[in-house]
Chain A
Amino acid sequence: MIPAAFDYHAPRSVADAIKLLGQLGPEAKLLAGGHSLLPMMKLRFAQPAHLVDLGRIAELRGISQVGNEIRIGAMTTEHELLSSKLLAEKAPLLVEGAGWIADPQVRYKGTIGGDISHGDPANDHPALMIALDASFVLTGPKGERVVKADGYFLGLYSTQLAADEILTQIRIPVPAAGSGWSYQKLKRKTGDFATAATAVMLQMKGKSVAKAAIGLTNAGPTVLKAREAEAYLAGKEINDASLNEAARLAMKICNPTPDQRGDADYKRAMCGEMTRRALQAAHARAKA
């Protein structure tokens, strides 16, 4: 329960952090809130020789709107997401989702950037990012690139981020007015990861769905975008039949790993159930 020895670095700017990553090479790990990394280090599953702490880089924090886009610094904590007036108004799905993460202690330290970068399909932000159609700003020695959340997650603990890059910012297009939203998460207890969870953004046109975006948490080796369910719903009314079919299509792409939360059958069924409930709740909130 005691990590192996490591050196600690605390750069004050993104540029310095990137320089350090270059100098220290693959033995270095970025440290954000530490609530995924430190448990792994305590179990000695991870034994980085260097930690580069992003905690003192002011430019990595904060939530703002620029044009039609919400920009969130990677080091913004879950607690800050939860208390943001801007998000509550413009992207309430993110606030609802953050509230389902861990417990207050973890949320004071854990960051949105760390949650995304960890590449764990059990984390909640990836599905929220998929539903919100977010993009990520990756900053490296050669400058910035912006990549879409859809396609960013490659596998368990694996993303498009290169070893010398830092996720610096999350960009979310402001959802269309009247969009409905919901994050439905089934978990065993406070502080638990999802048995299954579904994030939904829903735009209605009259009685039918104009657009649905659906992200599935802990349903496979990465977050899953329920494309078939999204496509199916377009133009449909939300009723028992369409909910059942959308849930079925979401379940079809699940490949969950059995663990103490349940076997694959249960988790798949719960993915369907959460999808159904998230669509229902989003529908109830949507204004045509």
Chain B
Amino acid sequence: MSQTAELKEREQKLQGMGTSLLRKEDARFIRGQGSYVADIKMPGMLFGAIVRSPYAHARIKGIDKAKALACPGVVAVLTAADLKPVKLDWMPTVGGDVQAVLADQKVHFQYQDVAMVLATDRAAAYDGVALVEVDYEELPAIVDPKKALLKDAPVLREDIVDKKDLTHGPRTHPNHIFTWEAGDKAAADAAFKNAPITVREEILNPRVHPCPLETCGCVASFNKATGYLTLYVTTQIPHLFRTVLAMLSGIAESKIRVVGGDIGGGFGNKVPVYPGYVVATVASIVTGVPVKWIESRIDNISTTGFARDYHGVGELAADKDGRIKGLRFTALADHGAFNSHVSATKFPAGLFSICTGSYAIPNTYCRVDAVFTNKAPGGVAYRCSLRVTEAIYLIERMMDVLAQKVGVDKAEIRRRNFVKAEQFPYTTGFGWTLDSGNYHAALDKVLKAVDYEGLRREQAAKRADPKSPTLMGIGISTFTEIVGAGPTKVCDILGVGLFDSCEIRVHPTGGVIARLGTMTQGQGHSTTYAQIIATELGLPASDIVVEEGDTDKAPYGAGTWGSRSTPVSGAATAVAARKIKDKAKKIAAHLLEVAEGDLEWEIDRFKVKGNPSQFKTMKELCLVSHTGNLPAGMEQGLNAVAYYDPPNLTFPFGAYLCVVDIDKFTGEVKVRRFYALDDCGTRINPMIIDGQVHGGLTEAFAVAMGQQLPFDESGNHLGNSLMDYFLPTAVETPAWETDHTVTPCPHHPLGAKGVAESPHVGGIPCFSNAVIDAFAHLGVTHMDMPHSAYRVWQKCNALGLNKR
């Protein structure tokens, strides 16, 4: 065997970074061997089912449990009054508000939790639910956030009516939560005053729901004898969850064990702590037996963390060539009935100020006003970092609006405004330091791959032909994401910094166990982390086991959301592995009787420089590290823990292009082509990246084309089952073409950035831009998502395009 062939074979054996190793977790999942919360059965376990409000806004005048308690199998019915003695009828939220665990005197949204029926089996629990009699007095509801701050608007939150401030500045109205601003208003206003070109557009991100396949649920098990509480729960944040439970319950954090288990998708929906978990926990503490609570699909869509509901207004000021001189973005945020919107303490509007996107824009100002309405609380980051989809949707839509006004091509307007490759690191008007990027190159690669000019020519021909039964639209999105929260100096939740951790234990024969503070929900962590360690330590990925989610086993971390696993925990993994490697090197030097400086690393071994026959493989060193043959004073073992506090967030970017054909007569939008180029820096497992991009694009397609939570004027849900709520299947999902460039992150130990959210954040505006572009020649600049056939037909009809 030649020397290079031998090296290659050794490298391939590791299946480390850069290889498309099949996902280790799939063997279990595709055989139906996953273990989800709903699968857990414990002796004596009770089932909890929730009585929910039929009204969006009503006073509770009485709750009669008698009939339910008489129902066979029903053990107890818990209401707010029962939670009061243990002070768990209300709970604090991460947004600085309080939230009713079970409705106390009033219900504030339809399907709000009013009582929990405990029974010996699930069917009996639901029989009991049907028998709990609640006497309601219906009140006028606020559904439209634009009406929340009217003078005569009904006051929703009587419980906090005297509170001048919900930790984010003064409140101006009983239904006002906060007003948050960033940037320089005076400078922006001046830029608009002097600009030859200004554009303004209302841009809505409607209320949607992440709708993971597995709904939320838990099994709470309190052992009265030991005082230990174990909670098996659908959570993306097991460690923070345990901290919250300790704060809420008063049980020592050391006596609480939170177990994530297998999670059937999260997409932000499994970040919050929901009332159902809390009531089930109280129920177990009171009864001393395990209590299981599992949501139905309707419960999940109606009550748990929704996303978006951002009613934005975008404004850009530009010179006559379309070079942007000022930006003003505002949003009215509908946070529902309680401010339990998920956010880091210092960012009540999330990372909305990333809204300058990929562009060099001076004179920037943004503001978010958050209000209460009679809708479910929350506001989670649905496959994105907090409020990043909203921000990027605004800027990517506004770039198109500007291009139309200036009369230049939509690719060209982007080129004129991109931050240039040589400008990195580039600090935006809002103060974010974009660490790296190469936007022009990415866009040019995509335009070339799809023959952009050919597409535009085809479109022009279609537009010129009045007989064409279809409209053609071309959408571009050149987004920059912000992921990997985050540096503890700016990012915390409830005072806990958003670092993350990895503990690696290497065993004598080279088998490795790595435990992390993150929580996989389908991202392929067991594979990706193993590959990082494989490359760093020269041990095969197949022998590396990754464990997450059990707070008794894993070191503390902030969990998985906001594409933070690779940027933060991936970095922690590399750092921990390098600590081990450093120690191994010392042992190798000791064994080979050379100085450390005389050694060099090669794939899976330390070699003596200039004397390649002298080496120690990592596998040998694993065993030796468990013997007495160590450098003087060195302890046995090859273990390490790393807590990683990232110096900055990471800024993955991409260039997407979408071609749609619209049936003028039905309004159906067919995605002919979608080309997605992503740059997430160093690529650890290209197959997993592709899979994440496919999934993210599919969810972007879902949001842009069909997802919305509709309500009537009384606050009744009009589409909370999968009959109406759009979850695309393989049949309606377009075929994705993926591509990449690699611009490593300069501050990450591996050069990696997050990727799983980019396709969602970048995809949504790309679809919208394509649909609206189909009408652009008719002067259209505004169409709200979702672009359902019905909506698009209305546009065709209004423009008279469907005349025969």
Contact = CB atoms under 8 A, between A and B. Distances in A.
Contacts of A190: 729, 731-732
Interface residues of A, number: 23
Given A2-B122, A260-B724, A270-B666, A189 B793 contact: no
Interface in B768-801: 788-790, 793-794, 797
Contacts of A1: 126, 296-298
Nearest to B719: A260
A200 B78 CA distance: 57
B793 A5 contact: no
Q: Is the interface of B mostly helix, strand, loop or mixed?
A: loop
A249 interface: no
Contacts of B668: 186
Contacts of B126: 1-2
B136 interface: no
B706 interface: yes
Nearest to B297: A1
A201 B799 CA distance: 34
Contacts of A262: 789-790, 793
B620 to A, nearest CB: 54
Interface string A24-66: 0000000000000000000010000000000000000000000
Contacts of B728: 189
Contact of B789 (A5, A191, A195, A240): A195
B665 A273 contact: yes
Nearest to A240: B804
Contact of A260 (B130, B298, B710): B710
Interface in B721-735: 722-724, 726, 728-729, 731-732
A189 B706 contact: yes
A266 B123 contact: no
B439 to A, nearest CB: 35
B296 A273 contact: no
Interface in A158-207: 186, 188-192, 195
Q: Is the interface of A mostly helix, strand, loop or mixed?
A: loop
Interface residues of B, number: 34
Contacts of A20: none
A84 interface: no
B718 A260 contact: yes
A1 B125 CA distance: 11
Contact of A189 (B298, B729, B797): B729
Contact of A186 (B49, B127, B298, B789): B789
Interface centre among B130, B710, B794, B804 (most CB of A within 10 A): B804
Contacts of A188: 706, 726, 788-789
A244 interface: yes
Nearest to A1: B296
Interface centre among A5, A188, A191, A263 (most CB of B within 10 A): A188
Interface in B702-726: 706, 710, 718-719, 722-724, 726
A2 B124 CA distance: 9
Contacts of A273: 665-666
A224 B657 CA distance: 44
Given A186-B666, A188-B726, A240-B804, A269 B793 contact: yes
A76 to B, nearest CB: 25
Interface in B504-562: none
Interface string A251-285: 00000000011110010011001000000000000
A192 B296 CA distance: 20
A88 interface: no
B706 A266 contact: no
A278 to B, nearest CB: 13
Contacts of B788: 188
Contacts of A270: 666, 793
Contact of B732 (A5, A189, A195): A189
Contacts of B127: 4-5
Contacts of A260: 710, 718-719, 724
A266 B794 contact: yes
A1 B301 CA distance: 14
A105 to B, nearest CB: 11
A269 B126 CA distance: 43
A244 B804 contact: yes
Contacts of B804: 240, 244
B287 to A, nearest CB: 21
A277 to B, nearest CB: 9
Interface string A71-86: 0000000000000000
A4 B790 CA distance: 37
Interface centre among A1, A186, A244 (most CB of B within 10 A): A1
Nearest to A243: B804
A195 B789 CA distance: 10
A2 B297 CA distance: 12
B724 to A, nearest CB: 5
A4 B297 CA distance: 18
Contacts of A263: 790
B597 to A, nearest CB: 64
A2 B797 CA distance: 43
A5 B130 CA distance: 12
Interface in B161-198: none
A195 B126 CA distance: 33
A188 B126 CA distance: 32
A2 B47 CA distance: 13
B544 to A, nearest CB: 38
A188 B793 CA distance: 13
Contacts of A269: 793, 797, 802
Nearest to B728: A189
A189 B666 contact: no
Nearest to A42: B296
Contacts of B298: 1
Contacts of B666: 186, 270, 273
A12 to B, nearest CB: 28
Contact of B123 (A2, A192, A195): A2
Contacts of B122: 2
A266 B793 contact: yes
Nearest to B794: A266
A46 to B, nearest CB: 13
A260 B711 CA distance: 11
A103 B728 CA distance: 13
A66 to B, nearest CB: 37
Contacts of A186: 666, 668, 789
A5 B710 CA distance: 32
A4 B724 contact: no
Contact of A5 (B49, B123, B296): B123
Interface in A187-242: 188-192, 195, 240
A4 B130 contact: yes
A240 B804 CA distance: 9
A190 to B, nearest CB: 5
A103 B731 CA distance: 10
Contacts of B724: 260
A283 B797 CA distance: 27
Contacts of A44: 130
A165 to B, nearest CB: 30
Nearest to B802: A269
Nearest to A244: B804
Given A260-B719, A270-B793, 19 more contacts: A1-B296, A5-B127, A44-B130, A103-B729, A186-B666, A188-B789, A189-B706, A189-B731, A190-B732, A191-B722, A191-B729, A192-B723, A240-B804, A260-B710, A262-B793, A263-B790, A266-B793, A269-B802, A273-B665
13 contacts: A2-B122, A5-B123, A5-B127, A186-B666, A189-B726, A189-B729, A191-B729, A195-B789, A260-B719, A262-B789, A262-B793, A266-B794, A269-B797
Smallest CB-CB A-B distances: 4 pairs: A262-B790, A1-B296, A2-B126, A260-B724
